[in-house]
Structure 1
Amino acid sequence: MKQQYKYNPETLSYEKVNVSFGRRLFRIVLVSAPSILLGLLLALVFTRRIDSPKEKELKVMVDKQERELKRLHKEMLLANEVLDVVEERDENLYRSVLYADEFPVEMRRMGTGGSDKYSYLKGMPSDSLLLLTSTSMDRLQRRLNAQSLSFRELLKLVKNKETMITCIPSIQPVRNTDLKKPISGYGWRIDPIYKTRQMHTGMDFTAPKGTEVYATGDGVVELVENKAWGYGKSIVINHGFGYKTRYAHLSAIGVSEGQKVKRGFLIGLIGSTGRSTGPHLHYEVVKNGKKVNPIAYYHSDLTPSQYEELLKSSNKSSKALD
Structure 2
Amino acid sequence: MSKIKYYYDTETCKYERIKVKKRDVVINALGFISLSIVLAIGIIVVLSKYFDSPKELALKKENEELKLYYEFTQEQLEGMDQMLKVLQQKDDQVYRTVFEAEPIPETVREAGSGGVLKYRNLLESDLSNKDLVIGTLDKLDRVKKKMYIQTKSYDEIMQLAKNKDAYYAAMPAIQPVSNDDLRRFSSGFGMRTDPVLKVKRMHYGVDFSAEQGTPIYATADGKVVLTKRDFSGLGWHIKIDHGFGFETVYGHMSKFNVRNGETVKRGQVIGYVGNTGKSTAPHVHYEVHINGRAVNPVNYFYMDLDSNQYEEILRLASIENQSLGSYANQ
TM-score (normalizing by structure 1)? 0.83
What aligned pairs does 1:199-218 form with structure 2 within 5 A after superposition? 199-218=202-221
Post-superposition CA distance 1:69-122 (Å, at most 9, x none) = 211210110110010111122223322322333436447525256525164386
Partner of 1:188, secondary structure, is strand
2-side partners of 1:201 and 1:69: how far apart?
A: 56
2-side partners of 1:44 and 1:252: how far apart?
A: 103
Letter in 2 for 1:194: L
* Structure 2 residue corresponding to 1:111, chosen from 110, 113, 127: 113
2-side partners of 1:129 and 1:83: how far apart?
A: 23
1-side partners of 2:117 and 2:9: how far apart?
A: 81
Please report how far the alpha carbon of residue 282 of structure 1 lies from its aligned counterpart in structure 2 after TM superposition: 0.5
Q: Which moved more, 1:78-87 or 1:122-131?
A: 122-131
In percent, how many aligned pairs have the same letter? 35
The equivalent of 1:86 in structure 2 is: 87
8 A Cα contact 2:122 2:130, kept in partner = no
* Structure 1 residue corresponding to 2:122, chosen from 120, 123, 145: 120
Structure 2 residue ranges without an equivalent (≥5): 326-330
The equivalent of 1:256 in structure 2 is: 259
Post-superposition CA distance 1:261-285 (Å, at most 9, x none) = 2112222332322211112211011
8 A Cα contact 2:224 2:239, kept in partner = yes
8 A Cα contact 2:182 2:313, kept in partner = no
Structure 1 residue ranges without an equivalent (≥5): none
Q: Which moved more, 1:194-203 or 1:120-129?
A: 120-129
Task: Give the number of equivalent residue pairs.
Answer: 320
The equivalent of 1:297 in structure 2 is: 300
The equivalent of 2:286 in structure 1 is: 283
What aligned pairs does 1:172-321 form with structure 2 within 5 A after superposition? 172-177=175-180, 179-180=182-183, 183-321=186-324
8 A Cα contact 2:174 2:219, kept in partner = yes
Partner of 1:236, secondary structure, is strand
The equivalent of 1:134 in structure 2 is: 137
The equivalent of 2:67 in structure 1 is: 66
Please report how far the alpha carbon of residue 65 of structure 1 lies from its aligned counterpart in structure 2 after TM superposition: 2.2
2-side partners of 1:114 and 1:43: how far apart?
A: 43
RMSD: 3.3
